[in-house]
Structure 1
Amino acid sequence: MAETEGQPANEAFHVATHRTGFTETVTVTGELDLATAPALAAAVSEAIAAGVGKIVLDASGLTYIDSIGISLLVRAWNEMKGRATMPVVVTNLQPNVRRVLEVCGIVNLVTE
């Protein structure tokens, strides 16, 4: 399992990855915003470069997401489309994070 800490400005942000076959599970804890997005972007980019077929983002510990986080999800989905029916899936959404995805119109794109 690989682990990446976010920027020092947000000590609570944490990204952990685990690969099983062609699926990369990325577990995120904390707030996903401008300061912390690079840590998640690095994990996603590494998974894409490794040729995984699916990225599962476990958002059980994700407490906040802003437009940078939304943009990251959409970019990952666009880069991964064609590899699987649901190439990027966000699971275990907190109600406030789900609401942001609904308002942005991508909740059906990234949830099963």
Structure 2
Amino acid sequence: MAADTADDSHGGNTAEERRFAVAARQVAGAAVLSLTGELDHDTVEPLRTALAQQIEAAPARIVVDCAGLRFCDSTGLNALLRARAAAAQTEGAEIELAALQPPVARMFEITGADAVFRVHADLDEAFAGTPPG
């Protein structure tokens, strides 16, 4: 996979913020947001902030790496769906998901959201055939 740059963590010192974190970096010209922990009503704000920052930066692709995401409720799903719509409308960017863990994948399957997003098995698959950037 391509070299990573600009590691930027979102999260803080409260118990809720320690339960969830977002780290942003650039890979092969795309923004990658790596999620860790539990995404729910109490922890969603760092994700909303990171998505808004990436949409404003206008990359063609935003890949959300869910390898470290243990839980996602409807609030997290809604944040991703809203960001997907905003990215498509304002910048024409695409938001993709990678490495959905079974509990998170199940929620996306039940709601049909897995048909809305391009979903990759992992980051390697998401960037397969992408020239290093």
TM-score (norm 2): 0.76
Runs of 4+ in structure 1 deviating by more than 4 angstroms, as ranges, are none
Extract unaligned runs of 5+ from structure 2. Answer: 1-6, 121-133
User: What is the root-mean-square deviation of aligned Cα atoms in Å?
Assistant: 1.7
- How far apart are residue 7 of structure 1 and its match? 6.7
Amino acid at match of 1:3: S
CA spacing shift, 1:31–1:52, aligned 2, 3 Å: same
Q: Which structure has the larger Rg over C-alpha atoms?
A: 2
Equivalence for 2:125: none
Residues in 1 aligned to 2:65 and 2:97: alpha-carbon distance in whole angstroms: 6
Pairs within 5 Å for 1:50-89: 50-81=57-88, 83-84=92-93, 87-89=94-96
Residues in 1 aligned to 2:67 and 2:28: alpha-carbon distance in whole angstroms: 22
Residue 29 in structure 1 maps to residue 36 in structure 2: yes
Residues in 2 aligned to 1:94 and 1:6: alpha-carbon distance in whole angstroms: 24
Specify which of 49, 54, 77 is matched with residue 56 of structure 2. 49
| Equivalenced residues, count | 110
Q: Between the two proteins, what is the percent identity of the paired residues?
A: 31
Residues in 2 aligned to 1:53 and 1:27: alpha-carbon distance in whole angstroms: 17
Residues in 1 aligned to 2:49 and 2:11: alpha-carbon distance in whole angstroms: 11
